[in-house]
Amino acid sequence: MKTFKELCVELRKQDKSVIEIMKITGRPKTSIYQHIRDIPMSAKRMQQYRTASGKQIRKYALARKGKSARPFHSFGTWTPEMVLLIGHLIFDGEILKAKCSYNNRSEALLNRVEKLMREVYDYEPARYLNRFTGVRRIGYYNVAISNYLQKKAKQLLGRIRQLPIEMKREFVRAFFDDEGCMDFRPKTNHRKVRGYQKNVLILKLIQTLLQDFNITARVVAPNEVIIVGKENLVRFEKEINFSFSVCVNGNRTNSRWKKHFEKRQILRLAIESFKN
């Protein structure tokens, strides 16, 4: 009767791998390897082994493509909160293949986006500060969540006109919080809510959504939408408005106010300045 060592040597000479010998003998790898370590498999068998291993690795890689060890929470039904989040990422952020981020100077808006992101992603963002401009950025580096939010952003832009009015309100508010300002110059009788965006299709979309609140707006070349007139400004204040703590940058050299001033307060001053 063959000893265990003799059986291992014989199986190895038959071009069996360590794993195959383990299955035949029922013995662990460490017990087998000491008897066969000086007996290599044939070149043909080694090539078959490498090919099989490569296929398994590629199969695993494809199965994990676009996935992350850090999962996220998907949502099927649009809510005002998710409309607001995706709106901010569209307007003052970016959603790329491997990351999504949001840029702003307003601590209130940065905190809002972070809070909303926690509804879909449990992990903290990376945080950056541009010391020259004072603009802060929060970034989420995750392929899976980025791909998902890209799809949701595209879906939202296609569906927002059909969504309920409260969701349209959050979308428009996100736009003006991120891209808007209140142009109030009483000496020259200027009272305008202005919103900037390079994408003219976005401007036209905002113009259309404002009509649902009986607010008339104009798209002005090359890249802004404006709201003028007392009635329109009053309706904008009532239906949309700028969010609390969203301020003009008082540190800018050309700042008219020379201090941080809430945009909603400037809007109120502009409305109150009308004589009738």
Give 214-233 pLDDT, tens digit per residue.
999 999 988 999 999 999 99
Assign 70 to helix, strand or coil: coil
* 132-163 residue pLDDT tens: 888 999 999 999 999 999 999 999 999 999 99
**Smallest Cα–Cα separation from 5: which of 13, 255, 199?**
13
Structural contact between residues 248 and 266, judged by C-beta atoms closer than 8 angstroms = yes
Q: What is the pTM of this model?
A: 0.74
**Smallest Cα–Cα separation from 180: which of 216, 139, 227?**
227
Distance of alpha carbon 216 from alpha carbon 204, whole angstroms: 12
What's the sign of the alpha-carbon dihedral 197, 202, 207, 213?
negative
All domains of the chain, ordered by start, with CATH?
4-64 (no CATH), 80-163 (3.10.28.10), 174-272 (3.10.28.10)
